[in-house]
Every structure is written in structure tokens, then in C-alpha cells.
Amino acid sequence: MIAELGGFSLILALFLSVVLAIVPLSGTITGNEIWMNYAKPLATGQFLFVLVSFLCLGYAFVVDDFSVAYVANHSNSQMPMQYKISAIWGGHEGSLLLWALILSGWTIAVAIFSNSLPLDMLARVLSVMGMVAIGFILFMLMTSSPFERYLPNFPLDGGDLNPLLQDFGLIVHPPMLYMGYVGFSVAFAFAIAALLSGQLDAAWARWSRPWTNVAWAFLGMGITLGSWWAYYELGWGGWWFWDPVENASLMPWLVGTALVHSLAVTEKRGVFKSWTVLLAIMAFSLSLLGTFLVRSGVLTSVHAFATDPERGLFILVLLAITIGGSLILYAIKAPNVRSESSFSWLSRETLLLINNVFLTVMAMTVLLGTLYPLLIDALGQGKISVGPPYFNAVFVPIMGLMSVALGLSVVARWRNTSLEMVRQRLWKPAVGSLLIAAVFPFVYGDGFDFSVFFGMAISLWVIFTVGLEFVWKFRHSANIGKRLSQLSMSYYGMLLAHLGVAVTAIGVTLVSVYSQERDIRMAPGDKIEVVGYEFEFQGSQRVKGPNYLADQGQIVVRLDNEELTRLKPEKRQYNVQRNMMTEADIDAGLFRDLYVALGEPLGGGAWAVRVHYKPYVRWLWLGGLMMTLGGLLTVTDKRYRKKVINGKGEKYA
Amino acid sequence: MPRLILFVPLVLFLILGALLWKGLSLDPRELPSALLNKPFPDFNLTALRNPDQPVTKNDFAGKTVLVNVWATWCPSCRDEHAQLLAIAKEGMPIIGLNYKDERDKAITWLTQLGDPYQFNIFDQIGMLGLDLGVYGAPETYIVDAQGIVRHRHVGVVTPEVWTDMKAMIAKGWADAVQ
């Protein structure tokens, strides 16, 4: 009964989306204010019905209603409660419902927090978001309803959630990621609304900027969490695999990063309008494309969702309408005028444009690498594989160039910057970062290493330039405290996010080059030394978890003969699906992780044991966290809370 | 003219859309028909454990074998390894195709995790992999006694997959020469 209520509520949400997509937009064409005013209540209604639907599915999980097919396939009565709840988005159907919930959540958020928007603009934006909602809810109802029943013969117990997904990381990772993916629909809706109305001005950029920054921050957080989860859960210490599904989340993030910067330029200087609109369309399109790639089965991936060509076709049609439609609109209506403000070849505008190009090229490179096997296959040239070597070879150099431009753009001024000023202010960070990076591998490692030099040089360059820029702000101020409070939240967010880039780059460089790994057979009492740490295997014992049995190893770690910690890696067998899971145990630290995982039992109490020493691996995610916080800080800026009476032609310098 | 430039994204998207549409009808888990029921491609490479020992496809002729494509850079291969050991214990010969890998690392791997393979073909530049149409590691092929490729599995060989494979091998192939 509850499940049917959920399905019914979803159908009602669909009807509301249809009305939302049509009525307010028609209102803007005919100038009918009453119709435009329907946008807010319709967005609210749509959200409430999707929420009811989501809660119904959650209820079915909580009470173990295995007559609901989706619950039976993704849950089990023995599963701990938190995983029963996170199992709502543990499969294709439920994760789509989460998608729809978040989409309607963003829609209602726009409706609530956009008091400063002119009525017609709000009506257009909400209508466009209603159109997106139609597509997704229809997709769910037609091909992938989570409310279908096994009747009359339903299973007594469920098939369990994939043990890989029974983990804290998987409780939080998909919602964050979807917040980002779907969040770009707001930037997209603003762009489409601006194209429809022809009001493509600085005010438009100012409205969509906070939404875009928040979406970008969430997406970054989602990617960071995914990487962290893969690191500790997959049991072999990797943190990025260039897997199609990971690429699918990285592409919108890269384009989103470009969009965040491009919007800043459009807001402050009124230039790059067409480019910004195109990026907004691209960021959301790539989010949709990611969804298509993951669920259609055109590419093989470790993140196997149940795939189905019928679903693939539906999403493809959806993509064609959404992306094709918006690009046609773009081609016809994008402003073709020459920008009114001018800037020289050496200015913040130019440098940001260059960075935009780098970011877009990176996204396209990832897209090419992801689709290349498919392309070759479609041309009948056989099957090929594109692996980490390709991605590393193209990604790393562009990343390096981009970091150089990043440092320059932080220091450069709007409009025009003198070469002399750049030289004067940047020679110190340039020389400093090169010198320290050249010495670093001798001090930290045991000889020169070009990767380390390169990685450290660009990271230090970013840190130094950002740091100097911050100090530069105080050159005329006697009162530091007062100056600190004068600087805007956007400015602090910018500093933090850019430092995050450097922190991540340091983590990537050092963990890639200086990781130590030992795979070794260990009988009880055996010892092994890795980078000065002594690991003693004391044997394993059987332990019983809520829905699994595990062999738990006991490993004492000593540093200079003093006990540092005891690690207890597990090899688990889950009761229902019977698959073996490696549960690594990690002693985490800011400068190094000690990572121990059990391989296979080798008889006589001995195990294949994997021991990793991972220097600076936390910095990877710390940087991701800093970028996220930076993105969120910018939104707290005072100027976004200002009321705008008339959105036309206003500009902030 | 500048107006036409604005159509470029649309055109690019249409090309991409056509590609994806075509992609829907292709199954990435399927072997290109060119190789199914065709002889295993010829190759002339060396054994993993001994760089001086040449191996060719004659080295596994005369019996039905599994050819398993693996590499130390491949996370799923680690997951698969226990199952391969179990299969080898059942008496099924497995030939390893060590794909785009480093010799030392691969030998260490086998020493530490156990060696389910009769021998390993060392395909460092991936030429044999290319001839076979390897999409990524791991992949497992069933090659019959006449050296004909009979089945391809992309991804980890799980107990269920192995059960299916066993059934397939037991059934044999209608056009096989006895």
C-alpha cells in the first residue's frame, strides 16, 4: 500500500512538473503575471510529492517490505539500519529517485531564495527546471520504477546490498555527487532563461553565481569522497582509476570549474557572455552524459549498474532533447555583439580565459579517452583499451600549464597589467618554488626525481603566489585586523580553494612517487619493516559481524621499538551474497598513512598480507575539502544577499 | 559568419549523439565476431618467468584451456586471483597473458599471491592483446583443443561465471574436430 502511494505520488509530481514547465513560461510570453506567479507553488508541490515518494521507498526499506522488488534486490533483514536507508540509492531505480528528489530540492531552493529575482526571470528558470524534472520522472516511471512488486510470490528475505556499498562512504558519496550534478541544472536553467529573454548581462551572472559555486563545491566533495572510499574500501590503496564512471564525474567538475571563473569575469567585467552560457550548458550536459554512460551499458566499468539498452535509448533521447535543444537555442540567440569593455593581452580577463580553455581541453581529453574505445568499436575497428597511461600523459602537462596561469591570474589586475609589475611581484615565488622543488627530492627522497620536482614546483608556485597576493593586500594598512574584516568572503573563498589545488597536487605527486608497497606471506610472529615502521603479524581470529563472518588479522606496528598502533584488517564473507570483501585497516596521519590489508589465507595460520606506506595521501582529500569550503565561502558573501530591485544593466566593478 | 561559429557546439553534439546511439547496439562485453569461433591469433612472445624462452600458441595446443588476461596494475585482477587459484586446483589449465605490465612486478605478484597459471605469455606492448581485441583487464577466453577461441568473458571470473564456463566446456562445440 505504502509503495503504491509512493508510485502514485511520483505520478502527481510528474503532472506538477508538466504544469510547471508550461504555465509560468507561457506567462512570460503573454505577460500574464498570475501565470508567472504559479511557478513558486508548483515548485513547492513538485518537491513535496517527490519527497513523499522518496519517504515511501525509505519506509519500504525500513520495514523490510520484500514484496517490493527493488527492496528485495538491494536489502536484507540482517543489514544494519543505516545501510538499509542508504540502500535507497544503492541501485539504479532508487538513485534516480534521489536524483529527482535533489532536482526538485534545488528547484524549491531557487523559488525560496530568489526574492531578488525579477518575476519573469524566476518564472523562466523554474519552468526550465520543471522541464528537466519531467524528463527524469518520466524516465523513472516508464523504465525504472522503484515501486514494482514481486506478487504474489515475494521472497522471504532480500538479496542484500552489494557489500562494497555497505559502508559509510557510500552513505554520503552519492548524495553529494548528485547535489553537484543536479546543482548544475540551476546554472543551466539560468543560462536558458537568459537566452530566452535575451537579458544576458552582469546581473544574470550575479544571480547564477552562488548557485553554481554551491553545485561545484558539492560535486568536488562528492568526487573527493568517492576517491577516499575507493582508497580504503577496495583494499589495494588506489585512489583514482580513470574509470568511466569517475571520468563521468570529473568532466562536469572541470567544466564547472571553468564556469565558476567565467561567471566571475562576466559579473565583474561584462565580457565572455556567450562563452559563459556555453559552459553552463556544457556543465549540465556532461552531468547528463555521465548519467547516460553509467546506466546505458555502452561502456564497461567497475561501477556496474544494472544496464539495459531500453533505458540507454530513453536517456539518449532525453540527452538529444535537452542538450540538442539548448544548443540550438544557443546558436540562435547567443549574443553576437562585441563586448563593450576592452582588456589587454596581459590582464586577469585574458589569464582566466586561458585557464578556461585549459580546463575545457582537459574535460574534452577525458571525454575523448572515455569514449575512444566506443568510437573505435563503432567504426568497426575492433576493441581497444585506454588506460591510465593515456590520461596521465595528457592530463599532467595541461595541469602544470594551468597551475602556472593560475598563479599569474591571482596576481594580475583586471583590464590591464603591466609586464613590469608581474615581473616585480612574481620573480620571488618563481625562483623560490623552483629552488625548493629542486632540493625537495634530495631531502625527502634519495635523489632527483623529475615528477617530484614538477609536482612540487607547480604546487609551491600556487601557494607562494596566492600567499603573496594575500600579503600584498596589507601593504597600505596599519591595522591588520580591520583590513582582514574588510576583505570579502568571496576573496577568502578564492584563496582557500586555490590553496586546495596546491595541496591536492602535493598529495598526488608525493603519494604517486614515494609510496611503498609490500605483498608478503606472513605467519604468526613474522615481522616486516617498511620505511622504518615494523609490522608484526600476530595471527588471525574469526569475528562475527551483523551480517558477515570475518577473519581478522592482528598486526602490531612499532616505530623505534615502541608500539604505535594495532591494525586489524579483515577478510569478510557476507552471509547472503557470499562474496569475499577485503576490509583494510589504516593508521591515518597528515604526513603518512600505514595501510594493511589481508590477501589470501595461505594455510597454517599464514596470510598474504599487503602493507602500504602512503606519504601525504591525506593531502589529496584535504585539498578537495579546501576547494569545497572555498566554494561554499564565496556564497556567504554580502553582495549576494543584497536586494536587487531591477535586475537590468546593473554592474559591479 | 560569426553566427555560424555558434553552431559548432551543436554539430559536435550531434556527432557525439550519433556515436552514442551506435554504441547502444554494441555490447562491450561481447567478443568482436571476427574472433569468435576463429583460431587464436598467432604470436611470438616470451615467457614471463624466463625472457629467453619463446612461447607460441603451440604451447597450449591439444587441450581446452582458459587464457586469462591480467596485469599488476589491474585492481579487479586481484579480486579475481583467488578464483583462478581455485579453478587451477580443479585441474583446469589456465594460460596467463600478462598484459602491458612489468616483468619484475608480475613475477613478484605470482610469488606472493600464488601462481594459478601453467605458464604466462609476457605481452609488454600489448600486441597480442590488440589482436585478441582485449578491452581491458581482466578478460578470460576459452580456447579449445584445436586452438579455436570459443568464448570471451570481460571482467572478473566469479564462481557463477566459472560454473557457466564449465558447463560450456563440458557441452563442447558442435563444429569442433574430435
Q: Average pLDDT in the B17-24 region?
A: 77
User: What are the tens digits of pLDDT across the range A506-518?
Assistant: 999 999 889 888 8
Percentage of chain A beyond pLDDT 90 is 46
Provide the grid cell at A280: 553552463
Q: Do B13 and A323 touch (CB under 8 A)?
A: yes
With an 8 Å Cβ cutoff, are A599 and B113 in contact? yes
Across chain B, what does the average pLDDT equal? 82
Q: What is the pLDDT of residues A577-635, one digit of tens each?
A: 666 778 889 999 899 999 998 877 888 888 888 899 999 999 999 999 999 999 999 88
Of A298, A320, A330, the CB nearest to B24: A298
Q: Categorize the per-residue pLDDT at A60 as very low, low, confident or very high, splitting at 50, 70 and 90.
A: very high
Cβ distance A344 to B26 under 8 Å? no
In this complex, the residue of B23, B109, B130 whose CB is nearest that of residue A298 is B23
- Residue B131 to chain A, least CA–CA distance (Å): 9
Residue A474 to chain B, least CA–CA distance (Å): 44
Query: Of the candidates A235, A374, A383, which has its C-beta nearest B19's C-beta?
Result: A374
Q: What is the pLDDT of residues B72-85, one digit of tens each?
A: 877 678 778 888 99
The pLDDT value given to residue B30: 53
Distance between A248 CA and the closest CA of chain B, angstroms = 14
Q: How confident is the model over A637-652, as pLDDT tens digits?
A: 877 765 444 433 333 3
Probe site for chain B from A200, A251, A377 (most B CB atoms < 10 A): A377
Chain mean pLDDT for chain A? 86
Shortest Cα distance, chain A CAs vs residue B41, angstroms = 14
| Share in percent of chain B as helix, strand, coil (round to 5) | 40, 20, 40
Q: Residue A166: its pLDDT value, please?
A: 81
CA angle B128-B130-B136, nearest 5°?
A: 105
Give the SS3 label for residue A161: coil
Q: Shortest CB distance from A327 goes to which of B13, B27, B135?
A: B13
Q: Which residues of B touch A234 (CB under 8 A)?
A: 75
- Chain B residues with beta carbon closer than 8 angstroms to that of A580: 82
Task: Identify the band that residue A305 occupies on the pLDDT scale cut at 50, 70 and 90.
Answer: very low
pLDDT confidence of A393, banded at 50, 70, 90? confident
Q: What 3-state DSSP class applies to A51?
A: helix
Nearest CA distance, A149 vs chain B (angstrom): 26
Across the interface, do A519 and B109 touch by the CB < 8 Å criterion? yes
Closest Cα in chain A, distance from residue B67 (Å): 18
DSSP codes of every residue in A284-338? HHHHHHHHHHHHH-SS--SS-----HHHHHHHHHHHIIIIIHHHHHHHHHS--SP
Q: What chain B residue is nearest to A304 in terms of C-alpha separation?
A: B155
**What digits encode the pLDDT tens for the residues B57-113?**
888 888 899 999 888 877 678 778 888 999 999 889 999 999 878 888 888 889 888
Q: Looking at the partner chain, which of A302, A316, A330 has a beta carbon nearest the beta carbon of B76? A: A302
Q: How sure is the predictor about A385, in pLDDT bands with cuts at 50, 70 and 90?
A: low
Query: Span A359-379, mean pLDDT?
Result: 81
Selected residue with higher pLDDT from A311 and A528? A528
State the best of B8, B20, B152 to mutate against chain A, taking most chain A CBs within 10 Å. B20
Beta-strand pair A516-522/A606-615: antiparallel
Chain A residues lying within 8 Å of B19, measured CB to CB: 371, 374-375, 378
**Is B13–A334 a contact, with Cβ atoms under 8 angstroms apart?**
no
Cα A299 from Cα A293, distance rounded (Å): 7
Is the Cβ–Cβ distance between A271 and A415 less than 8 Å? no
Nearest CA in chain A to B10: A327
Q: Can you give the pLDDT at residue A304?
A: 42
**Burial of A500 from C-beta contacts in 10 A (0-12 / 13-18 / 19+):** buried
Residue B33's φ and ψ, nearest 5 degrees, are -55, -20
Residue A160, sorted as left (phi over 0), alpha (psi -120 to 50) or beta, turns out to be left
A521–B112 CB contact, under 8 Å:
yes
CB A231 within 8 A of CB A593: no
Closest CA of chain B from A310, distance in Å: 9
Residue in this structure with the C-alpha cell 526550465, named with its chain if needed: A128
pLDDT confidence of residue B6: 82
Cell of A91: 541501485
pTM: 0.80
Confidence label for A459 from pLDDT (cuts 50, 70 and 90): very high
Asked whether the beta carbons of residue A330 and residue B25 sit closer than 8 angstroms, the reply is no
Residue A286 C-alpha cell reads as 556532461
Yes or no, beta carbons of B28 and A297 under 8 Å apart: yes
Greater pLDDT, A607 or A236: A607
Using DSSP, state whether A88 is helix, strand or coil: helix
pLDDT at A273: 86
Chains A and B: how many Cβ contacts under 8 Å? 122
At B28, is the pLDDT very low, low, confident or very high (cuts 50, 70, 90)? low
DSSP A473: T
Specify the range with the lowest mean pLDDT, choosing from A161-170, A261-270, A475-484: A161-170
Cβ within 8 Å, pair A371-B113: no
Give residue A302's pLDDT: 42
Local structure of residue B148 (DSSP, 8 states): B
Domains of chain B: 29-171 (3.40.30.10)
Nearest to A327 among B10, B82, B100 (CB): B10
In this predicted model, which residue has the larger pLDDT, A603 or A383? A603
Pair type for strands B65-70 and B94-99: parallel
Q: What pLDDT was estimated at residue A10?
A: 96
Q: CA B79 → CA A82, A387, A520, B99, distances in Å?
A: 27, 19, 17, 17
Omega before A441 within 30 of 0, i.e. cis = no
At B80 the pLDDT is: 85
pLDDT single digits (tens) A164-184? 778 888 788 889 999 999 999
Q: Which triple of cell numbers denotes residue A331? A: 546558436
Q: Does position A212 have pLDDT exceeding 90, yes or no?
A: yes
Nearest neighbour of A519 by CB, restricted to B14, B112, B134: B112
Question: Do residues B23 and A374 lie in contact, with contact meaning Cβ atoms separated by under 8 Å?
Answer: yes
Q: What is the mean pLDDT of residues A36-52?
A: 95
A572 has a pLDDT exceeding 90: no
DSSP run (H or E) holding B121:
strand B120-123
